[in-house]
Chains A and B, each alone.
Chain A
Amino acid sequence: MGKLDLGNWLDERLGLKLISRFLKEKKVPLHRHTPWYYTGSAILLFFTIQVITGFMLLFYYKPTLELANKSVAQIMNEVPLGWIIRSIHSWSASFMIACVFIHLIGIWLAKSYRKPREMTWLSGVILLLISLAFGFTGYLLPWDELSLSATKVGTDIPRSIPVVGIWVTKLLRGGEDVTQDTLTRFFGLHVSVLPIFAFLLIALHVYFIQKHGMSVPVEIEIKNEKPNELPFWPNFVYREMIVWLLLFGVLISVSILFPPSLGEEADLMAPAPEGIKPEWYFLFLFQTLKIFPAKILGVEGETVAIILILIAVLLFALLPFLDNKPAERKGKFVSLIAYLVILYALFMSIWSLM
């Protein structure tokens, strides 16, 4: 079989020519906000690194109370370059979540969620929640003192939700307290359930983007000008590759220079250590919960805080429907809220660290 025949053989079965034609015809709008487009592919880059390093760690990790901490210690001490793999996995999780935040903020400010891209936004918000769930479930897996205490605090928060709170806490923990059942659940969620949902939603998200094309910022759309366009292949992909290379280099360097340590094995009977802090991406929520007083008009302060946070998440998810006139006064008000939310999250995170 010649080279050309093999190409035709594959094309007849896989429709490769359709894909290559699509890539050649795909255009990327060129304007001063074009660099925001790179954040989307950066998320995919870090997600891929997460999957690869996650598989590597899976070969050695054992999700039992006796062996979880020891197996992570084994990865760090005995497996050749295991400490780097663990470090890359841990850092790329942070990098990925940072990129998801930046990506969503960029879309919020550019109002790219406007008609007909509401579903793209919704799938993106769900992907943000999945990314946070990845971080939360992964944090327990090393089974050290800090991860146990943070999980106890984290899984205790839903308890304050009226009606379903206690049930949600029990569902997360697999019982009243954080035990082997919790570890098994979190491990299952982290390596199986969440990846399946993440893959499906990423596929759906990418499909929506391809269906509607890349959006232009609302300020350009108002002017009714057709922005310059760049062919996706090869002009834009080459530019993206430069970003990927730089991000990859930074990730590997940070992973080598600042690898995460592993604390003492968790003891279910031991009291929680002082000064527990969650991962950086939960700090603003953590601080928000802390500043609420014990009682507000006879209601538990934590309950009020959680209800407010849930309402905020819901409003955030429904932004495309709420901000349906992005070019008008209402749209400007929504932009102002976006800036205030960013400032609030930064301020609360810094405050939490002080």
Chain B
Amino acid sequence: MAKRGVALFLLLFLGITFFLLKEISGSEEGQEELKKPKESGEKIVSSPKDIREKISVYVFMGWMWLSIFILIYILRQKISEADRILRLKYFKGNKDNS
């Protein structure tokens, strides 16, 4: 069951990474338009420059939060394990003392 979960996660991870890379490299095509000189008095707003970049950025954000939640899940398991070992050591120490 765990192996299947890992395989599914890897598949998702690689798929999204591939999609992202493809999207980001694709968005380079739209860069020519952006090299136009800035008109006087114009305020430059930072934002995705075209729909491709916009989609890729939002997909990246989704992928990032998914990865963060998975990592937090793993870390919580690690914390439980580390705390369990600590409790074992503590009680073992108490037993030895008595």
Contacts and interface: CB of A to CB of B under 8 A. Distances in A.
Q: Do A and B come from one complex?
A: yes
A86 interface: yes
Contacts of A86: 46
A245 B82 contact: no
A331 interface: no
A264 B83 contact: no
Interface bracket on A:
20 to 34
Interface stretch (B2-10, B11-19, B67-75): B67-75
A235 B38 CA distance: 53
A241 interface: yes
Q: How large is the interface on B (under 10, 10 to 19, 20 to 34, 35 or more residues)?
A: 20 to 34
Contacts of B21: none
B44 A73 contact: yes
Q: Is the interface of B mostly helix, strand, loop or mixed?
A: helix
Contacts of A259: 45-47
B91 to A, nearest CB: 14
Interface in B33-60: 34-35, 38, 40-47, 49, 57-58
A235 B83 contact: yes
Which of B41, B46, B82 has the most CB atoms of chain A within a 10 A radius of its CB?
Answer: B46
Interface string A217-257: 00000000000001100110011011001101100110010
Nearest to A228: B90
A261 B43 contact: yes
Tell me the dominant secondary structure on chain A's binding face.
helix
A253 B46 contact: no
A17 to B, nearest CB: 21
Contact of B75 (A242, A249, A262): A242
A242 B34 contact: no
Contacts of B47: 83, 259
Contacts of B72: 242, 245-246
A261 B42 CA distance: 11
Interface in B71-97: 71-72, 75-76, 78-79, 82-83, 86
A261 B45 contact: yes
A293 interface: no
Interface in A243-282: 245-246, 248-249, 252-253, 256, 259-264
Given A230-B86, A252-B61, 15 more contacts: A73-B44, A77-B35, A83-B46, A87-B46, A245-B72, A245-B75, A246-B68, A248-B68, A252-B64, A253-B65, A256-B57, A256-B61, A262-B43, A264-B40, A264-B41
30 contacts: A73-B44, A77-B34, A77-B35, A77-B44, A77-B49, A80-B24, A80-B28, A80-B31, A83-B47, A86-B46, A234-B78, A241-B75, A242-B72, A242-B76, A245-B71, A249-B64, A249-B65, A249-B68, A252-B64, A256-B57, A256-B58, A256-B61, A259-B47, A260-B46, A261-B43, A261-B45, A261-B46, A262-B43, A263-B43, A264-B40
Shortest 5 CB-CB contacts between residues of A and residues of B: A259-B46, A83-B46, A262-B44, A77-B34, A249-B68
Interface of B: 24, 28, 31, 34-35, 38, 40-47, 49, 57-58, 61, 64-65, 68, 71-72, 75-76, 78-79, 82-83, 86
Interface of A: 73, 76-78, 80-81, 83-84, 86-87, 230-231, 234-235, 238-239, 241-242, 245-246, 248-249, 252-253, 256, 259-264
